[in-house]
Amino acid sequence: MKASAAKSSANPLRHLARLTFVAFLFTFIASRTLVILIMARKMPDLFLHMGGTHVHHLNYGIFLLSAVAGVLLFAPLNHKQRSFCALIYGVSMALTFDEFGMWLHLGGSYWQRASFDAVVVILSTLGLLAFAPRWRRLRAHHFAVGAAMLLWFVVSAAVLGALTFWVVFPGTYGLAILLLALVIGLLLVDRQTRHGAS
C-alpha cells in the first residue's frame, strides 16, 4: 500500500491520468448501458425532461467540467483533492463526449458514429498518458511493437475498405473497379521504386 502511494506521489501526472482514464471508461460504459436498457424498456425512464425538453447527459458533463475547471483554477488543492477532481473530470468528459455527435452536428440521433469515434480518441490519449512508458525509457522493442500495430491497423483498414467497396459496388463492376485501383496502385509504387533507385 505504501509503495503504491509513494509511486503515485513520485509521478502525480500518471496517477491522475489513470484515475481519469478509469472514470471515463466506466462512466461511458454505464451511460451507454443505461440508455440501451431504458430504450429497450428494461428499466424505467430516468431521462430528465424539463418543459417537454429532454435534457441530455452531455449537459451534466458540461456543468461538471465547468465546476472542475473552476475548482482547479481558484482553489489550492492537495493530492487527494486533485485525485477527486481527476475522477470527476473523467466522469464529466465521458458524459459530454458520449453525445459528441449531437453537439457537433447540433442535433440528430444519440447513436452517431462521431460520438463513438471521439470516445475512442479520448480513451486512447488518456491511455497513452496513463500507461505508456516514459519517452526516455523507450527501447527498440517498443518501437517494433508500435510498428507492428501500425502495420496491422493499415492492413485491417485496407481489408475493411475493400469489403466496404465490395458492398457498395457489388458484382462484376465492383470487382473490376477494385482490381483496376489495385493495379494502378501497384504501378505507382513500382514507378516510385524505380525512380528512387536511379
Mean pLDDT of the chain: 76
Radius of gyration of the chain (CA): 23
The whole-angstrom separation of Cα 124 and Cα 120 is 6
* pLDDT of res. 188: 66
C-alpha cell belonging to residue 43:
428499466
CB atoms within 10 A of CB 181: 12
* pLDDT of res. 168: 61
* pLDDT of res. 68: 93
For residue 1, what are the CA distances in angstroms to 6, 7, 11, 104?
9, 10, 16, 43
**What is the average per-residue pLDDT within 128-156?**
72
| Strand, helix or coil for residue 179 | helix
| Strand, helix or coil for residue 168 | helix
The whole-angstrom separation of Cα 85 and Cα 49 is 28
CB atoms within 10 A of CB 31: 19
pLDDT band at 80 (very low <50, low <70, confident <90, very high): very high
pLDDT surpasses 60 at 88: yes
3-state percent breakdown (helix, strand, coil) of the chain, nearest 5: 80, 5, 20
**What is the average per-residue pLDDT within 143-162?**
73
* pLDDT of res. 190: 61
Eight-class DSSP state of 132: S
**Contact between residue 38 and residue 69 where contact means Cβ atoms under 8 Å apart:** no
Domain positions in the chain: 1-133, 140-198
**What is the average per-residue pLDDT within 23-45?**
84
**What is the average per-residue pLDDT within 43-69?**
83
The whole-angstrom separation of Cα 13 and Cα 32 is 28
**Contact between residue 29 and residue 21 where contact means Cβ atoms under 8 Å apart:** no
